[in-house]
Structure formats: C-alpha cells, structure tokens
Chain A
Amino acid sequence: MTAELCDLTAHDLSAKLAAGDVRAIDVLESTLRRIDQVDERLHTFLTRTEGQARTQAGLVDERVARREEVGPVAGIPLALKDVFCTKGIRTTAGSKILEPYVPPYDCTPWERLQAGGAVLVGKTNCDEFAMGSSNENSAFGPVRNPWNLETVPGGSSGGSAAAVASGQAVWALGTDTGGSVRQPASLCGVVGFKPTYGRISRYGLIAFASSLDHVGTFTRDVRDAATILSAIAGHDPRDATSLPEPAPHYGAGLDAGVQGLRVGVMEDWLGTEGVQPAVRDSVRAAVDRLVGLGATAETASLPHADYALSAYYLIAPAECSSNLARYDGVRYGYRAPGGGDVMEMNMRTRGAGFGDEVKRRIMLGTYSLSAGYYDAYYGQAQKVRTLVIRDYEEAFRRFDVLVSPTSPTTAFRLGEKTEDPLAMYLSDIFTIPSDLTGTPAVSIPCGLSPDGLPIGFQIMGRLMDEATVLRVAFALEQDLRFAARPPLLEALSA
C-alpha cells in the first residue's frame, strides 16, 4: 500500500504543512479515517476528540494561510495516554473509579503541545493507573497489538504505542514508571523514549509512583522523539521535582554519528533465561551495526540491577498506596451507592472502583509501609535503589551508553500471563533500572522475530544526557532502516 498522510513522520508532515503541500485538516481526516478503520479491532482509544481536533487543525491551517510561522508540533495528530489530565476532556486512568472524571485543568505537557498547535485526536487506553505490562488491566478492556491481534501491545501505555504503530496518531505521549513506554514501544515496533526524571513536568499526570513516574514519547522515528521532547521538556514551577535547567534543543547534533563512542553491552541480561533467542540475536546484530559505524563495544555490568525488580515492587506499590488514597468518592469520580457513613462509602467505592492489580499493589504498599515493616521493606528497597544508582554511575565512567533488549520477549498472547503476576512483572526486568535511577533510555525497533513481531533495542544513557542516547538511536535507526509495517495496515489498502 502507499503510505497515507497518517502514516508519515511528524517532521515529514511538518515540512509539507509549512510548504503548503497539505493542510492540517487533511492530515487529521486521514488519521480519523484510520481510527474508524482499525480502532474497533484494536480498542486503542477510551475517548475520541475529533470535534476539538478539527477546530485545532483549522486554526493551524488559518495560521499557515496567513503565512505565519508554525512550530514543529503544529497540525500533527497527537494521542495522549489517559493518565494526562486534559481540561474538559474525560480522563480515566483506565479505571472505573475515574470513569466519570473530567479534569478542571490541563497537564503541563498537553498545555505546552496545545500552545504549539498540536491536534489531539483522543485519549488512549492503558492499564489501570498505569499498573501493568500488557494493557490487560484496563477497566475498559485490553488493547490489541496491531502486529498480531491475538497478542498484547505491552503496557501500561499500550494504547499510545498501538495508536502510533497503526497510524491512529502520528505521535503520542505515555508514561514510564517501570518501562511502560519502552516495553510497549518494543512490542509495537515504534520508538519509545523516556528522558531523565524531572526533564518533563509531571504536573497533571495522574500519579502511580511519584518518584518513578516519567513522561515518555511514542514516535515513528528518533527525529520525531527529539522534536516532541523539545516541545514539552524544561522546568515547570508547578512540579517541585522538575529540573531547573532549561531543556536543550534535542534535534541538534542528532546526526553526529557514533565514531569512537563507547557502548557497554549488558551481556548478563542477554544471557538471562527467558530472553527469546530471536531477541538475543537481533540485539547482538544491532550491537555489531554500531561497531560497524565506529563505536566500540564491551561487556558492561550492573551488579545490583538483579535486585532492581524487587526494589521496584516495594517502592512503586508503597507510593501508589498513598497516591491512590484520594480516590474515595468524596470529591470527584465514581461513588458507590449505599453505605451508612463516610468510611463505608469510601470502602464500597474503592472496593468496586479499583481492579484486582491496583488492589494488589495498594495492599502490598500499605503493608510495606506499616509500622514495624518499613525498615525491612521500603527502607531496604531505597537502599537498593541507591546501590543501583551507584552501579549506573560506575558504568557510565567506562561507557557512554549501555545497550540491551528492551524486553525479554516479543509481544505475548492475551491472557498468557494474566494468571501469573510474577511472570508479567519480569516483562519489565530490563526497563525498571532506568526508572529507579531516573536515567534516560530509549527503545527503537531493531528487527522482527520469525513470527513477525517487532523486537526492541534499548539504549540507556547517563543522567541528563538525552542527547547521546538520541544520537546513538538515530545512527542505528539510519543504519538498520527498519521499515516493516503491521500486517493489519497492509491489509487495509489491499
């Protein structure tokens, strides 16, 4: 099939818009057509916003017609994971407890994109409160992977990943707390990037685990990742953990190449049982390509990273148990009927409003913060976190980037891991350390498995050094020229 407008990259579309070759409304209509064609099967969106999108696209076209200069996000169809608060647009976090919730304010990333003329097509499906690795924990039903409808798109930002992979949005925002951007990007064959903690404001992002929550991006290529990151990054006075430094322009220096760059290969991780052979081979091949481009590659290790998963599953639930306490039926969202007093109303609301995985993590977190257990669990986990941070600092003295598979496997079948939370948790084993350490990391597609599913290559960088991560990703992407598309899309035009 010939690519439609909705299948192009943002930078291609932006050039065409600026040149007057296409109108924003044409790009939008192409995207909305695609949504009509595939969303029923993929269940990508929880809320569609085409009315508002047409208005936004129209405004961009008017500005272009007046020969005003428009920025790189103007007129580009965007999807937001349904954990980003959007004023006047329902925001559910994939949970029944927020099913009727319409935020009275905008999150900072959307506020910045909106100011730049972005066109929001809808809010994407996700695991409830971003807790999950398959999108099967959404209260509104799972998302399906465009590459194979019987498989999961990954999670928790599965809807955003699937939207970008299937042309239902040119780019999208997600959140990455334990890998929730990179893992679904890997499983859906798109670029998923998570910058340094604090680089993008969390204001208006419905919290799962505050010290681990990162805003991340889904794009069709690395240049687009740099572009949208530049549009939303930078200090926000409304987020006290936001970095004070102004964000650099990430597009500059993307094509500087990798000559002499020191690549640390996570051999331990590659050798882990449970890493699919195709994943291992594809990642090794990608490392060879980097060497071919002039980088050096040596074995790297992060001795305490093995404990990262355990630490993560103490810290994240602890923070979540507190962050989710506010959903009590008193001020907004769902309220269960009946109940003799306020406490009973709280309990009924939370009992009926939260799904199983959310309840499991609230209980885990409540337990680990309890008097007498704090030191053994939460306190200990924070110590492990510090050790992992030191490991990274140590490793980045020797290497400019560390590389690994993004996820041990390609997309797995729906229902395959739902009965076994631990197996599900292992899906994020290679992505969690970057969240614990707050360091930037990207997943880019590096090949297909024999059964035709995408494989993700993870590049991890040092704190604040998004530029190097993006530069390596760009070089590899240009060299690999990964151009496969989901069979679903090929079938559409046939």
Chain B
Amino acid sequence: MAEADTAKATRFETVIGLECHVELSTATKMFCGCLNAFGAPPNTNVCPVCLGHPGTLPVPNEKAIEYTIKIGLALGCRIAPHSIFHRKNYFYPDMPKNFQISQYDLPLCVGGHLDIEVDGETHRVGITRVHLEEDTGKTVHGGATGRIGGAEYALEDYNRAGVPLVEVVSEPDMRSAEQARAYLTELRATLESLGVSDVRMEEGSLRCDANVSLRRPGSEELGTKIEIKNLNSIRSLYRALNFEEERQQVALERGEPLIQETRHWDEGKGITTHGRSKEYAFDYRYFPEPDLAPLEPDPQWIETLRAELPELPAARRRRFQDELGLSAHQAGLVASSAEWARFFEATVSAGADPRAAANWMTGDLAALLRETHQSLTAAKVTPEHLAELVKLLDEQVISSAGAKVALAEAFATGASVDAVVEAKGLRQVGDSEALGGMIEQVIEENPAPVEQFRKGKEGVLGFLVGQVMKKSGGAANPKVAAELLRERLSGSG
C-alpha cells in the first residue's frame, strides 16, 4: 500500500470533473402544474402534459428559471442573455415523450467557479455551465431477480417526470478524491443556502456523476475518461474515486489500455463495474425545442436576484472566524450547512458564547443527531436550549458533566434546560457548608490517598474531588470542592 501511494504521488496525476444533477424544490413541475413532491404514491402527481399525451405542450416554470439563475449567480457564472431549450431524443420508457427537454449549446449559466478548502488550502474549481432540464420518471423492474436483465415486467412511476432539474458541470479541476468530496460538500451547502433544493442525496434530489482519468504529472493532455455513475452519497463519491484511481493506476502500470466507458459504483462491494462503452453512446439528435421560446431574462430581474442572494458558506465561514472568533476548523463545521449556521447564529443571538456554542454543536449535539438519525431542523432541541446550557455552564450553575446530561434530556424531550436542571438536581453545590459534610466523609473513607496528598502527591486531589462529585450525584462544583479539600488537608489535620 505504501508503495502504491508513492507510485500514485510520483507517477500519475488524477483528474476529476463532476456533473451534478439538482432537483429544484419548486412547488410545481418544470412544464406543467403538477406538484413537485417526493414520496407520493406512484403516478399520482401526473397530468396529460407530464405523461406526454398527444397534443400537450410545455409551459416553463418561472420559479425554476429563477432558481437556476440564483445557482448560476452563486457560482459566479455569467447569465446568458439568450439561451434556449433543446430536445434530447432517445427512447426510454421512463421518459414520457421519448425526448427530454434540456439545454445544449446555449445554457442559461456559463463560466463560474466554486472555491473549496482541503487541508487548509483553497482550490478554485471551474464551473463550465449550469443548465435547466426536466427529470425523468422511475422504472422499477419486477420479477424474479429485480434487475433489468431477467426482469419479467417493468413498472413506471411518472411522479418525478418533469420535475425541474439543474445540471452543474465542473471543469476537470480536481486532483484527488478529497477535493471532489470537498467540492460536492461545498456545492451542496451552497444549494442549501440558496434554498433552491432539498439536496438530499439519499432521495435523489442531488445526484452526481464523476469523470475521472489519470495522466503523467505535467502532461496537459487528459487520459482516458471514465464516467462513474450511481453515486448516492458523498461517501460513495469518495470511495468510488479512490477505488477508480487505484484501478486505473494498476492498469496503467501494467500497460493495460483503458477504454472510455461508463462504470457503475457498487456500494455493497465497494467496486466499480463496467456499464457502457463509448461506441454505444447515443446520438441524441439535439435540436431546438420548437414549442418553447428562447429564455431571455430581463437584466433588471437578474440584478434583483443577485442583490437578494443570501450569504454563501464561504463568506459565512470567514465571518464566523473574523467576527465570532471561531477557529477555521470550527467555522468549517458550523458554517458549511445553512441549517447548522442558522442554529448556531440563533444560539449566539440568544446570548451564548460563540466558541462554546460551536463546541457543543459539533461535539455532543452532533453525536446525539448521529445516534438518532435526525436532522437538526427536525430535532426537539432549540437554539434557546443550547444558549441556556452554555450560560448555566459559564455561570458554574451546572458542571460540564451536568450539562451533558441536561443536553441529552432536552434533546430527547424538548424540555427547557432550566427545568431539566431542577428535575434532575443538576445544580452544582458550591457553598462550603453543604459540601463540608461530604468532604469529611471522603477524607474518612480514603485514608491512603489522603495520606499520599499530605506527603505532597498533588495528583491525588483529582481523585478525591471525583469522590466528592460522586457523593453529590454530580451536583458539587468541582472547583469549590477542590479548594475546600486543599484547605482542609493542608490545614491542621
């Protein structure tokens, strides 16, 4: 493995470009009035238009055009003053018209970029184009195997047919799986901030294909391009790229030629498998969609949309560092998702110390979310909860152990932190009178450690404080307990 890594580093350079498909979260579909909703019973969000009935015509969804322009602006693209829809012709039963309305040589947005950070370094990834099209339906192959080959029948669900879909095509500017992962993460965060998509990879509202090739360092020419499909998560992308990098490198080292092909990522087996070779590439017979007028967005409208752009993740990260004092790492964690950033900012404006809030969010709160498979928005815990927690901790009303308990309880029940602290008796005991009795008991029960401390072994104090904490059920203020112990043991004794 170490050998392979060296070879990779010195003998080949990986070149990666990503094509991402984004389902827009408009209320209705791209060219008809049907609801754009995930998870409805099959063929319930359909009408003559999106079923491709004879005589029906497409009418563009203005909101979808707006969202696409916003994406283009956020990615620094030029918004084309004149772009058109094309028909992409091929036969597939999940496509009701047997052509897809898409964009071809005149896309809506061209020439932008997305900056990503990997290992503290910023890389600029070029965006070739952002265009608008319609999604297809879904085919379910039925019968013995459930696979296409050997299926006894196929069922079509056209709920998704005609859902507005944006394609974001990057330049082949990424050089590692880490960079590709950072790009997809940053793109998802950007789309999320814009509020234009649910960006749920597991539901298919964000899908990604990767083009990957290897070449000798310094070479300007690209190697044989392999397209990887079926990447359903950022993790899949990362794993698939690592696998493919390795596979191609081994082949090249052995002098085996690579063929230009499409490969499928098999998540279970952790490998890519051969899909379709280039010679089977479709001739899509693109031509301008005659049922639609060219898209010529009013420049005034574009400027309005530009002015309305929300803060994007990169700017947010910078602000969290500069204005709120977060570390680059903390800012990266908290600011990269609009959902997290909103929660964080609400916590801060409810009075919490920013760094403490960020630590709790990325530590205990993140762990609780992971354990319960919840999103932050869906969780019962609120920014007010967290702010209260940070405040009580800061004022030493509760211990950090108590705070953990309080957060878990608030997370589970939605009860206020105050109430949890009272109910669970988490309030720290800090007055010497109340602690005095416990301290006496601890000294009595632990003669050996007491003796060691008295002989100058400072480290034992922690153990003794721990014993006091235990006795108090976590309610003792450890600082006060330590002071009292020290006072009591260094005194007359």
Contact = CB atoms under 8 A, between A and B. Distances in A.
Interface string B82-98: 00000101010100111
Contact of B97 (A211, A326, A332): A326
Contact of A370 (B51, B53, B283, B290): B283
Interface string B348-364: 00000000000000000
Interface string B134-157: 000000000000000000001010
Given A238-B59, A322-B287, A331-B96, A103 B91 contact: no
A104 B154 CA distance: 24
Contacts of B111: none
A346 interface: yes
Interface string A224-249: 00000000000001111100000000
A84 B55 CA distance: 8
Interface string B265-306: 000000000000000000101110011110000000000000
B287 A105 contact: no
A202 interface: yes
Interface in A203-231: 203-207, 209-211
A107 B49 CA distance: 12
Contacts of B286: 369, 374
B104 to A, nearest CB: 11
A206 B57 CA distance: 10
Contacts of A98: 54
Contacts of A205: 55
Contact of A103 (B55, B60, B293): B55
Contact of A331 (B51, B99, B285, B293): B51
Contact of A211 (B48, B53, B290): B290
B52 interface: yes
A88 to B, nearest CB: 13
Contacts of A322: 87, 89, 99, 285, 287
A104 B54 CA distance: 10
B54 A369 contact: no
B93 to A, nearest CB: 5
A488 to B, nearest CB: 33
Contacts of A313: none
Interface range for B:
20 to 34
Interface in B71-90: 87, 89
B56 interface: yes
Given A322-B87, A330-B156, A346-B91, A103 B48 contact: yes
A202 B48 contact: no
A91 interface: yes
Nearest to B156: A330
Contacts of A374: 285-287
Contacts of A346: 91, 93
A369 B89 contact: yes
A331 B52 contact: yes
Nearest to A350: B91
Given A322-B287, A330-B93, A240 B54 contact: no
A494 B187 CA distance: 82
A107 B55 contact: yes
B296 to A, nearest CB: 13
A143 interface: no
A466 interface: no
Nearest to B51: A331
Nearest to A201: B57
A182 B414 CA distance: 75
A343 interface: yes
A85 interface: yes
A366 interface: yes
Interface in A59-101: 83-85, 91, 93, 98, 101
A370 B282 CA distance: 10
Contacts of A332: 53
Contacts of B53: 85, 103-105, 331-332
A374 B286 CA distance: 9
Contacts of A366: 285
Contact of B54 (A206, A237, A319): A206
Contacts of B55: 83-85, 103, 107, 202-207
B99 A237 contact: no
A241 B291 contact: yes
A371 interface: yes
Contacts of B292: 240-241
Nearest to A211: B290
A369 B51 contact: no
Given A328-B93, A342-B93, A240 B48 contact: no
Contacts of B87: 322
A369 to B, nearest CB: 4
Interface string B28-63: 000000000000000000001001111111111000
Contacts of A240: 57-60, 291-293
A45 interface: no
Nearest to A329: B93
B56 A325 contact: no
Interface in A330-349: 330-332, 342-343, 346
A354 interface: no
Contacts of B51: 331
B88 to A, nearest CB: 10
A14 B223 CA distance: 76
A362 B432 CA distance: 95
Nearest to B154: A342
B40 to A, nearest CB: 18
Contacts of A238: 57, 59
Nearest to A237: B59
A239 B91 contact: no
A386 to B, nearest CB: 13
A80 to B, nearest CB: 12
A147 interface: no
Contact of A325 (B58, B60, B97): B97
A325 B99 contact: yes
Nearest to A87: B48
Given A322-B285, A370-B285, A371-B283, A202 B57 contact: yes
B287 A326 contact: no
A105 B48 contact: yes
A240 B93 CA distance: 26
Contacts of A318: 287
A325 B293 contact: no
* Residue with the highest number of chain A CB atoms closer than 10 Å, among B51, B57, B286: B57
A326 B291 contact: no
Contacts of A193: none
A211 B89 CA distance: 17
A392 interface: no
A409 to B, nearest CB: 31
Contacts of A207: 54-55, 291
A418 to B, nearest CB: 26
Interface string B151-169: 0001010000000000000
B281 to A, nearest CB: 10
Contacts of B57: 202-203, 238-241
A396 interface: no
30 contacts: A83-B55, A84-B55, A85-B54, A85-B55, A93-B54, A101-B54, A103-B54, A104-B48, A204-B56, A207-B54, A207-B291, A240-B59, A241-B57, A318-B287, A319-B287, A322-B285, A325-B91, A326-B54, A326-B97, A328-B91, A328-B93, A331-B51, A331-B52, A331-B53, A343-B91, A369-B285, A369-B286, A370-B283, A370-B285, A374-B287
Given A207-B291, A319-B287, A369-B285, 20 more contacts: A85-B54, A103-B53, A105-B48, A202-B55, A206-B55, A237-B59, A238-B59, A240-B58, A240-B59, A240-B60, A240-B291, A321-B89, A325-B89, A325-B99, A326-B97, A327-B54, A330-B93, A331-B51, A346-B91, A369-B287
The 4 closest A-B pairs by CB, nearest first: A325-B98, A369-B285, A210-B290, A211-B290
Interface of B: 48, 51-60, 87, 89, 91, 93, 96-99, 154, 156, 283, 285-287, 290-293
